[in-house]
């Protein structure tokens, strides 16, 4: 648990909270906001968007990442994830995989409704991740 967070991290969390306010979670009512920061310092934020065909809904983290990648970004430093839950909102398995592959071993900051902040390296959330290194092994 990180008690003293830097202003830069608290600003990232504020961006995620701002995004969460726009969440399109009309089925689960579980609002999530995410903000990802590039190595150059740019921030891309997003919220979860749900479909009436529930499985087509998309998490805030992946939308934030894909928005950044669409804008031409490829180097990332950290992501903040917020929700309205009492517990820390940890990224789902699919987001862990996609973030690890496309953003690398970034810092993940999670918050809870008590205002506490937890920091973990992404690699600790997805140990021994499957990556293109294995996929392409033996092909070249």
Q: Return residues touching ligand THU (CB under 6 A).
A: 25, 28, 30, 32, 48, 50, 57, 59-61, 81, 89, 91-92, 95
Shorter beta-carbon distance to ligand THU: residue 30 or 130: 30
User: Nearest distance from residue 22's CB to ligand THU, in Å?
Assistant: 13
What is the length of the chain? 140
User: Nearest distance from residue 59's CB to ligand THU, in Å?
Assistant: 3
Unique residue bearing structure tokens 């970004």: 73
61 is catalytic: yes
Alpha helix ranges (H) inside 71-114? 93-103
Rg (CA), the chain: 15
Q: Find out whether 33 and 19 touch, Cβ atoms under 8 Å.
A: yes
Shorter beta-carbon distance to ligand THU: residue 2 or 28: 28
Shorter beta-carbon distance to ligand THU: residue 87 or 134: 87
Q: Find out whether 43 and 36 touch, Cβ atoms under 8 Å.
A: yes
Instruction: From the candidates 11, 21, 24, 61, give the one annotated as an active-site residue.
Output: 61
Helices vs strands, H then E, count in the chain:
5, 5
User: Nearest distance from residue 140's CB to ligand THU, in Å?
Assistant: 35
Which residues are catalytic, by number? 61
């Amino acid at each position: 648990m990180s008690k003293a967070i830097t202003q830069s991290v608290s600003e990232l969390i504020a961006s995620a909270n701002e995004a969460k306010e726009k969440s399109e979670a009309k089925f689960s009512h579980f609002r999530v906001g995410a903000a990802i920061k590039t190595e150059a310092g740019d921030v891309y934020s997003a919220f979860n968007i749900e479909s009436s065909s529930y499985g087509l809904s998309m998490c805030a983290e992946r939308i934030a990442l894909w928005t950044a990648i669409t804008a031409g970004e490829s180097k990332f430093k950290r992501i903040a994830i917020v929700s309205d839950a009492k517990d820390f909102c940890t990224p789902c398995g699919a987001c862990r995989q996609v973030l690890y592959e496309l953003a690398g071993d970034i810092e993940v900051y999670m918050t809870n409704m008590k205002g506490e902040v937890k920091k973990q390296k992404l690699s600790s959330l997805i140990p021994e991740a499957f990556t293109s290194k294995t996929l392409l092994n033996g092909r070249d």
